[in-house]
Structure 1
Amino acid sequence: MTGEAPQNCVAIVVAAGRGTRAGGALPKQYQLLAGEPVLRRTLQLFASHPDVTAVLPVIHSADSGLFAETARGLPKILAPVFGGATRQASVRAGLAALTAHGAPDAVLVHDAARPHASPALVARAVAAVRIAPAAIPVLPVTDTVKSLDAAGQVTGTLDRSILRTVQTPQAFRFAPLMAAHVAAAAAGVEALTDDAAVMEWAGHPVATFEGETTNVKLTTPEDMERAARAPFQDLADVRTGTGFDVHAFGAGDHVMLGGVAVPHAFGLVGHSDADVGLHALTDALLGALCDGDIGAHFPPSDPQWKGASSDRFLAHAVEKVAARGGRIAHLDLTLICEAPKVGPHREAIRAEIARITGVPASRISVKATTTEKLGFTGRREGIAAMASATIRLPWEEDA
């Protein structure tokens, strides 16, 4: 595989710990940051990354219900595996599960409690494992480092030029990492704190690549407080996009509105399922990205989209935002029609949009209005929708 992109790269997200030092009623990976669990943000990073084939979560056996709710609606997520008493045992359980289902070429191992890793860091990890059997993200040590004795007295000053702090995701070719874990377990070696140490113990060279100062592991209550403020603070490029869509009524007994089947005397006519709400939201996100429109990405002339569920279109736009290292801050949808009545279905529509996008429902607005019986919507000939999307991206200077 040297020099070639891994054909099959799976991310193992280690989320089996209890995280008691972080405080709170829940394990830290399930605590909320900006309205969503830490673990969901971590899973979404890998689930939306084009270089990652699948995501395998390793969780605590007591967290099945929490995990199911946290991961709901995310793509590429494999059935979770229960972890062990140590981090090393948890990763080994994940590797064994992958072996049972057909070993991938490469794996990325990432801590669930590092929710601020970027898509660019994941891409660097995948690139590094093309040329090395093991590679880890590192940062230079900027503070002076002292060694101490048992009494807390300084015994020396270390040369920080040869020291690095280590992060995740760590990247490995699957076969040597699996063999190293099996050998370490057989030898009774269970206290190694990361997978690079397992590979070092087995005699493999470990390469490095550039880490990120923002890729902090959440450990203490203070970390959690800082992280609660962090999701948007480094995304200085704030953009708003708008979208508009319309479909005429035709034969049918329901219409799709925002991913929800709403009973009606008519259906909507379109190449896909004619969901005006999701189409408008998709265009709003693509507009904020300056990345064309829904027709450019899913042309109606292509037969594969005939009758397609529109949640695929919106999920695609969401992945585009994530691939740019961005986040969706707010979605606003207005449905324009005389009938059917939207009000009784409003909360179901918000919940479905939240499921598709991974955006908390508290950041999603759904409204409805009429045109006072004027125009084609007033004559009950169809439904229109307009939407706006606010996203935040890392700042990039214009080329």
Structure 2
Amino acid sequence: MGIAAVIVAAGRGIRAGGELPKQFRALGGQAIISRVLARFLSHPQIDRVVVVIHPDDRSLLEETARGHLGNPKLLVVPGGGRTRQISVRNGLEALREQAPDLVLVHDAARPFVSSEQIDLAIREGLRSGAAIPGISVVDTVKLVDEEGTVVATPDRSRLRAVQTPQAFRFDELLAVHRRALQEGREDFSDDGALAEWAGLAVSVFEGDPSNVKLTRMEDFEQAEQRLNSDRTRLAVRLGTGFDVHAFAPGDHIWLGGVKIPHDQGVAAHSDGDVVLHALTDALLGALAEGDIGVHFPPSDPQWRGASSDRFLAFAAERVRTRGGLIDHLDATILCETPRLGPYREAMRTRIAEIVGIGIGSVSLKATTTERLGFTGRREGLAAQAAATIRLPEVGT
């Protein structure tokens, strides 16, 4: 496993007000934790995502992020402690048996993290071994004593306000956390400070001013205003997709990311999932970025037998990279056999997980062709799909 992410989601969010810990509160109709998990689970370079929650919050996670819980990338660790540092350490310990090369640590209260910022954290983490994002401080900062008297004015050109995700070599960060535990140090507010204390050289890369941390009630109000503003400047796009595969010898087929027992398989270069292929083409069509064959050519041997969830996750990430939102996905499967009713909800759930949207935004139907055509003769199966997205308007 190359790269993992630890999402710290065990805080109680007292300053934010409300009845729920802030990471489980809704923002623009979607829970903050769900937004964060969608961003990291859909990132193509991240192999594992560990979310550390408070032991009492399992039911909250199931209510607010149900669409992500079946994702094989995701590991839920109910090991949240009384400090952030304890929670991060427990998340790292959960990764030790399949230790990644690099680990990103991110606060669940930062729902506006971009894929570009994750890309930058990975790149800088691999380069330096310990890298944290920071933004320049625009206000003059004063150092004061216990009585509020100014004792120093630091040079603000050398100051940075630190954000997450922070990136570290996994083995080094875990060793530092264990050392701090042995020495009774549990007061570090971020992993960059912990690494600095341990003598690691920590580099700072350019942060993102929009990657704000939601802490107080006014932060949530501003975040809602931001989302509403973003929606007003986005133009609706519609894309469609279609895919077909012939039956071949085998004992199962893949549909909607779900393995379904059958007396035949399909002839395909990848796993032959017509639903995910059609949805991928629908998203790429809405983006006007070609089709699945442009990005994953069947002539390339690396895609032989590939799991089609990689293709759909790529298309979904392309929407987000361009500043867009996925509103709705709709797919229809055309086949005489097998019967798909028992698998419909599992397929909807898996598609929602891959794309990083709520299950209520995924529609899936199945129909026969009244024994007409190749599907009617049970020679194969097909799927057609439509995707509705919103993208920033040209010129904005």
Please report how far the alpha carbon of residue 82 of structure 1 lies from its aligned counterpart in structure 2 after TM superposition: 0.8
* Counterpart-to-counterpart distance in 2, 1:126 and 1:260: 30
Amino acid at match of 2:278: A
Gaps of at least 5 residues in structure 2 are: none
What is the 5 A alignment of 1:297-336?
Answer: 297=296, 299=298, 313-322=311-320, 326-333=324-331
Preserved contact between residue 232 and residue 327 of structure 1 (Cα < 8 Å): no
% identical aligned pairs: 52
Q: What amino acid sits opposite 1:84 in the alignment?
A: G
Aligned position for 1:289 = 287
Instruction: Establish whether residue 20 from structure 1 lines up as the match of residue 18 from structure 2.
Output: no
SS at structure 2 position matched to 1:189: coil
Query: How many angstroms apart in 1 are the aligned matches of 2:384 and 2:229?
Result: 29
Per-residue CA deviation, residues 235-289 of structure 1 (Å, 9 max, x unaligned), is 866443222345789999x99875689999x999764887655443221012233
Tell me the CA shift for residue 335 of structure 1: 6.3
Partner of 1:8: 2
The 2-side partners of 1:309 and 1:52 are apart by 16
Residue 50 in structure 1 maps to residue 44 in structure 2: yes
- Per the alignment, residue 121 of structure 1 pairs with 117
- Counterpart of 1:46, as a letter, is F
**Against the structure 1 CA distance between its residues 298 and 356, is the aligned structure 2 distance closer, same or farther, given a 3 Å change threshold?**
farther
Residue 88 (structure 2) aligns with: 91
Matches within 5 A, 1:126-205: 126-150=122-146, 152=148, 157-205=153-201
For residue 166 of structure 1, what is the amino acid of its counterpart?
A: V
1:62 maps to which of 56, 65, 68: 56
Aligned residues: 388
Q: Which moved more, 1:205-214 or 1:268-277?
A: 268-277
Shift in alpha-carbon separation, 1:259–1:150, aligned structure 2, 3 A: closer
Q: Is the 8 A contact 2:2 2:100 kept in 1?
A: yes
* Structure 2 counterpart of 1:3: none
Q: Are the counterparts in 2 of residues 338 and 370 from structure 1 also a CA contact under 8 Å?
A: yes
The change in CA–CA distance for 1:152 and 1:357 in structure 2 (over 3 A counts) is: same
Aligned residue for 2:128, secondary structure, equals coil
Q: How does 1:238-253 map to 2 (within 5 A)?
A: 238=235, 239-245=237-243
C-alpha distance in 2 between matches for 1:224 and 1:166? 20
- After TM superposition, the structure 1 stretch with the greater mean CA deviation from structure 2, 334-343 or 103-112, is 334-343
TM-score (norm 1): 0.76
Q: Distance in 1 between matches of 2:318 and 2:30?
A: 20
**1:35 maps to amino acid:** G
SS in 1 for 2:75: coil
Q: Classify the secondary structure of the residue corresponding to 1:78.
A: strand
Cα distance in 1, alignment partners of residues 120 and 307 from structure 2? 34
Whether the aligned pair in 1 keeps the contact of 2:71 and 2:350 (CA below 8 Å) is: no
Matched letter for residue 69 of structure 2:
R
Q: Is the 8 A contact 1:311 1:356 kept in 2?
A: yes
**For the structure 1 residues 376 and 33, does the alpha-carbon distance in structure 2 shift closer, same or farther, using more than 3 Å as the test?**
farther
The partner residue of 2:79 within 66, 79, 82 is: 82
Measure how far apart 1:164 and its partner are.
1.3
* C-alpha distance in 1 between matches for 2:300 and 2:178: 52
Task: Provide TM-score, normalisation by structure 2.
Answer: 0.77
Question: Is 1:221 equivalent to 2:217 in the alignment?
Answer: yes
CA RMSD of aligned residues (A): 4.3
